[in-house]
């Protein structure tokens, strides 16, 4: 059993503390990008993504950008695009506009009375980290304490219409050099297609992700035990997020590591999950954890406990993707993340320069802040809705 050490929510980062910052304006934009091909998981299918982008401006005119990568509907978790928009306009942005802070780790004080809504919370957390780093003319990765110049990346593949279509997708991305392949699974689409991929690609690092689609039931146990024999790197989130005891029982039965995703929403839930032995690997997602501050705290917790972590994604646009890369530059991220190039999903993105993968790695941006700039033409061309709060 892994028992993790107690860690504070905000862990100081080396660096110069600037004078008090006050956000005087928050711009919110709903932007739609079509996907190159539909993506299907155990809960839903999508052919486009609507994300909220945020720009914060401080009293000196400095700006920072953040992204809300919440799904449009409450299938991955309880939040959705509409709930995030309301939470940002009614609660988080007003609380931020009324607060002074010196470091992004101070932000929980501004909105600590607001419960949950972690995708909405992450939007402004990322934007304030970007602004803070830009004011110091430092990259976000350096500001967070990251050291890697590039990070190894894998690719996440959705549920396909048939096995042959799946094999063709795997072959394409293996040929492009991605370091591992993740397959979405669901009851009825699990052992057989995964076995087919393993047979065709015996040496490719392979993992599966159920997004909580299975239940603590003998018929599902049999499928998961069958997957256990296919030489997988991990089985991600087989059971619902709140069923940690079922994950712990399953992990005791399997040789394959169980990876927790939706179950880990704070550093506290991470500590509980590790103490229960509910998994041996943690997927850290900036959006799911409410931003970079909490994501870094979970990274530090797992690093001290000797638990491998990797950076997961929510099909972010370039802003969120750059934030993920900055986080993944931290030393505890030892496994390939879901940080493939933007061109894996989108014909156009909203940032320049575009984020691209080369030989299974993506370079960590080195420019100030996120290291990318907004493509104003792309933003206007894909804009659905906007508002300004002052």
Task: Enumerate the active-site residues.
Answer: 184, 285
How far apart CA 308 and CA 329 sit, in angstroms, is 14
User: What gap in Å lies between CA 209 and CA 186, rounded to an integer?
Assistant: 8
**Count of CB atoms within 10 A of residue 66's CB?**
29
Which of 212, 315, 327 has its CA nearest to residue 261?
Answer: 212
Answer whether 225's CB lies under 8 Å from 201's CB.
no
Residue 197 CB-density burial (10 A; 0-12 exposed, 13-18 middle, 19+ buried): buried
* 203 Cβ contact partners less than 8 Å away, ≥ 6 residues apart: none
Strand-by-strand arrangement of the 150-152 sheet: 150-152, 361-363, 357-358
Q: Please state, in angstroms and rounded to a whole number, the distance separating the CA atoms of residues 199 and 230.
A: 9
CB 68 within 8 A of CB 88: yes
d(CA 339, CA 326): 11
Residue entry with tokens 């397959």: 183
**What per-residue string of b and e applies to 323-339 under the rule 16 or more CB within 10 Å gives b?**
bbbbbbbbebbebbbbb
Residue 112: what are its φ and ψ, rounded to 5°?
A: -65, -20
DSSP category for residue 34: E
Residue 257 CA to residue 238 CA, distance in Å, equals 11
**Taking a C-beta distance cutoff of 8 angstroms, is the pair 36, 48 a contact?**
no
- Quote the CA–CA distance of 350 and 346 in Å, as a whole number: 10
Instruction: Count the neighbouring beta carbons within 10 Å of the beta carbon of residue 205.
Output: 17
CA 265 to chain centre: 11
Residue 290 near residue 121, CB atoms below 8 Å: yes
CA distance 253 to 233: 16
């Amino acid at each position: 059993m892994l028992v993790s050490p107690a860690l504070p929510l905000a862990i100081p980062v080396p660096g110069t503390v600037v004078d008090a910052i006050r956000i005087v304006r928050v711009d919110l934009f709903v932007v739609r990008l079509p996907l190159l091909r539909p993506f299907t998981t155990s809960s839903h299918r999508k052919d486009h993504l609507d994300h909220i982008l945020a720009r914060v401006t401080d009293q000196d005119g400095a700006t920072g950008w953040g992204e809300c990568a919440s799904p449009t509907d409450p299938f991955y978790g309880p939040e959705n695009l509409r709930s995030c928009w309301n939470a940002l306009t009614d609660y988080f942005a007003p609380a931020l506009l009324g607060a002074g802070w010196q470091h992004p780790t101070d932000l929980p004080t501004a909105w600590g009375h607001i419960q949950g809504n972690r995708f909405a919370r992450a939007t402004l957390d990322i934007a304030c980290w970007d602004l803070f780093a830009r004011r110091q003319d430092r990259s976000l990765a350096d500001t967070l304490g990251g050291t890697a110049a590039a990070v190894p990346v894998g690719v996440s593949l959705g549920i396909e219409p048939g096995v042959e279509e799946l094999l063709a997708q795997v072959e394409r991305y293996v040929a492009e050099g991605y370091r591992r392949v993740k397959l979405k699974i669901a009851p009825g689409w699990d052992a057989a297609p995964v076995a087919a991929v393993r047979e065709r690609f015996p040496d490719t690092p392979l993992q599966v992700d159920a997004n909580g689609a299975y239940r603590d039931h003998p018929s599902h146990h049999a499928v998961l035990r069958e997957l256990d024999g296919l030489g997988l790197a991990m089985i991600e989130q087989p059971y619902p997020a709140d069923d940690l005891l079922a994950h712990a029982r399953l992990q005791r039965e399997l040789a394959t590591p169980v990876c927790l995703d939706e179950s880990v929403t704070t550093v506290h839930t991470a500590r509980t999950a590790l103490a229960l032995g509910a998994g041996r690997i943690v997927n850290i997602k900036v959006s799911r954890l409410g931003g970079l501050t909490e994501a870094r705290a979970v990274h530090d917790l797992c690093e001290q406990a000797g638990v491998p972590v990797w950076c997961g994604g929510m099909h972010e646009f370039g802003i969120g993707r750059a934030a993920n890369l900055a986080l993944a530059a931290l030393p505890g991220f030892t496994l390939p993340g879901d940080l493939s190039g933007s061109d894996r999903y989108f014909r156009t993105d909203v940032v320049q320069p575009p984020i691209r993968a080369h030989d299974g790695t993506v370079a960590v941006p080195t420019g100030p802040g996120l290291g990318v700039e907004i493509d104003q033409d792309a933003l206007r061309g894909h804009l659905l809705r906007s508002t300004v709060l002052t």
